[in-house]
Amino acid sequence: MIREIELTAARGRLAALAGGREDGRPLLCLHGWLDNAASFQPLAPWLADFRWVALDLPGHGGSQHRAPGHDYAFVDWIHDVLDALDALGWERADLLGHSMGGAIASLLAAAVPERVRRLALVEALGPLAGDPDQAGQRLRESVQARRQLRPRPPRRIPDIDTAVNARLAATKMEREAARLIVERNLRPFEGGYAWRSDPRLTLPASTRMPEAAVRSMLRLIEAPTLVIAAEPSPPWFPPDILRERATCVADIRLQQVPGGHHLHMEQPGVVGPMLRDFLAAD
């Protein structure tokens, strides 16, 4: 049975889904950008022996947004996850992350290796890197976008299918997978629905680490690591970058699965057993 829970964190309440065995090995699941905890529901049958919790990261799903005037700095995601581990009473846990959630999990494992027993990543190994020569332009565009953002009334969405169609227009994925994410990211509004996610999540990042900095952090990961990557690779996660980053992690294995970026949702029967077997190991 999957149930809703809430956790207290320094920057606001975190919503989450929880399932599995109460006496199972603790497993914290972190979703991708503009997704939410529901993205891990298709994997639930293969996580049944774990005590798993899937977070809604701040600004996503049912979790609180950042306070007015604040941004979504990458390092703060790490503290949000550590707050969640503390609230759960988990001194050490396994981490499972998809896309942005995998990037967060990667750097958390590097920053506080004593908190992570095993690290499982789907379509991720560290955050997106940036070209140092473009850093100034990136900063300029980010600040301008942030200063131009103004509060707007929510846009009414007449029905769930309309919301699903909007998600599919922005993200290539199977309709059933999109619907799971979308349903958790809606709230009732004026006889229809409105998005729950924070509009600030769509602002361009002010900084991105250069590739060399990302690799220096990956070298600090001590946990055994599994990366499951889609074939063909998306343009932001090319196979040459994955292979080169993998050489930075002492204990790592790579698996490629034919499919799209949300392959953990679209092919849970393939991805689930890989994750279960890896995370069950001592």
Distance of CA 135 to the CA centre of its chain: 24
Separation CA 46–CA 231 (nearest Å): 22
DSSP letter (8 states) at residue 202: G
SS3 state at 45: helix
210-222 core/surface letters (b: 16 or more CB in 10 A; e: else): ebeebbebbeebe
Separation CA 84–CA 16 (nearest Å): 10
Which residues are registered as beta bridge partners of 17?
4, 54
Separation CA 61–CA 196 (nearest Å): 6
206 is known as an active-site residue? no
Q: Is the omega angle on the peptide bond into residue 127 within 30 degrees of 0, that is, cis?
A: no
Separation CA 269–CA 273 (nearest Å): 7
Catalytic annotation, pick one of 39, 63, 99, 197:
99
Separation CA 96–CA 106 (nearest Å): 10
Catalytic positions, written as ranges: 99
